Amino acid sequence: MKKQAFNPYLPSWEYIPDGEPYVFGDRVYVYGSHDFFNGCVFCMGDYMGWSAPVNDLSDWRCEGVIFPRDGDPANAAGKMCLYAPDVTKGPDGRYYLYYVYDKVGFVSVAVCDSPAGRYKFLGYVHDRNGVRLGDRPGDEPQFDPGVLTEGDKTYLYTGFCARGDKSRHGAMCTVLGPDMLTIEEEPVFVAPGCEYAEGTGFEGHAFFEASSIRKRNDTYYFVYSSTVMHELCYATASDPRGPFTYGGVIVSNNDLHIAAYKPADKPVALGGNNHGSIVEINGQWYIFYHRQTNGSWFSRQGCAEPIFFDEKGHIQQVEITSCGLNGGPLKGEGEYPAYIACHLFTGKPVLYSGEPGLPRITQDGRDDDKTPGFVADIQDGTTIGFKYFDCKGVKGVSIETRCYCNGAFEVKTAWDGPVLAKIPVVSSNVWEKNTARFDFPDGKQALYLTYRGTGKPSLKCVAFEK
């Protein structure tokens, strides 16, 4: 690769959640919604396209606006938000974009000759009488479309099931004909919502939103966000219309359930809703998901991790890391931006982002200002973690900090491990570098920094010293 790949995999000033990854030709494309830095709600922007060569997952290219929020007659005034989309290649070789606006319950479709866009509005998913799916009596509202085309049939997965709402039953699958718009087979339920999960095997991980569908060998993998929101789960079937059997959790954006290095119920990042899917790139499968930043739910960024299947097709839950698409640990040398921290927590366990005053990954300036991210509002007891690095002969660690503070950062290789060194920091209104010289352990290592002191420093970068 031209350079190393980090999480988030896009620039730190870009906010593309709900990522649906696909390989078309020799490039991987990610389709998602578009949050703003300091956004006041979800998905405020136009759909943006990003792609990378399949043999260099560090080299992401912006394809520009692939579909504007006012590109649909239903939203000519541009007042509605474009929620999470999906894309499929139709039987005619063209590319079809499926999406739902935030204040309607029907599915729109746009089309393009290229996967990179720009997509043009085509029409709405409808029955043979021309009535839109979602508008008919008895239809459940459509939401978060996921699509898979096989032959001249396209399988459309939709749904949203909030706790306490018995009017929503679960995720639905609807079969569309070769025109990519007309219903050929009416919706069937493929995964239950929490109000109907008892006795199904989905208990505790019932369907909430974020329908996505992939096929591996002869098995269909339905990927979705569960009722607890921070996790992406999967269910499997031998037929795209089910029945689907619950499989497990693929990833949690606060690493809940992972017990390899901490208690399973300990969150190590501020979580929130989640959305993404799996994709095979050059023989390796990955899960794409998103994280919350800026202390809110409305500025989300895409991340990815490699995943592995056992001989029965089961996926084991993976840790969130700083090096997801890198193909292995980052080099234990040089400087790294603090925004690639995969762990950020205080002494008080907090599951979801949004509580005022907590440490957060943020940036200077306004939305679309191309300024690098950093960690802000660090307080006494805050731990910042980076995973993983391949270290050899490291003789110290440096950090750059600013803001009013008086204390020190403890350097460790485990969140609860022994303190290897302390890096003192004092108040400064500019970024200043401080260093601790010591022998950092060789091998594959995590780097944890825990702040002890007063004030609320910000952290711009960390560096390994030789």
Identify whether 209 is a catalytic site residue.
yes
Catalytic residue selected from 63, 144, 209, 410 = 209
The whole-number pLDDT of residue 115 equals: 98
List 14, 18, 72, 410, catalytic entry: 18
**What are the mean pLDDT values of the chain's consecutive 10-residue runs (466 residues total)?**
96 98 98 97 98 98 98 98 98 98 98 98 98 98 98 98 97 98 98 98 98 98 98 98 98 97 98 98 98 97 98 98 98 98 97 96 95 97 98 98 97 98 97 98 98 98 98
The CATH superfamily of 20-307 is Glycosyl hydrolase domain; family 43 (2.115.10.20)
- Tell me what pLDDT residue 289 has: 98
State the DSSP string of 87-109. EEE-TTS-EEEEE-BTT--S-EE
Highest CATH level, class, for 330-465:
mainly beta
Burial of 30 (0-12, 13-18, 19+ CB in 10 A): buried
319 given a catalytic annotation: no
Q: pLDDT, tens digit, for every residue of 348-405? A: 999 999 999 999 999 999 999 999 999 999 999 999 999 999 999 999 999 999 999 9
pTM greater than the 0.95 cutoff: yes
Per-residue b/e over 347-375, b at no fewer than 16 CB within 10 Å? eeeebbbeeeebbbbbbeeeeeeeeebbb
CB 39 within 8 A of CB 299: yes
Question: Do the beta carbons of residue 13 and residue 368 sit within 8 Å?
Answer: yes
All structural domains of the chain with their residue ranges: 20-307, 330-465
pLDDT for the residue 15:
98
Q: What is the pLDDT of residues 294-324, one digit of tens each?
A: 999 999 999 999 999 999 999 999 999 999 9
Alpha-carbon torsion angle 306, 348, 339, 446, nearest 10:
-50
pLDDT recorded at residue 221: 99
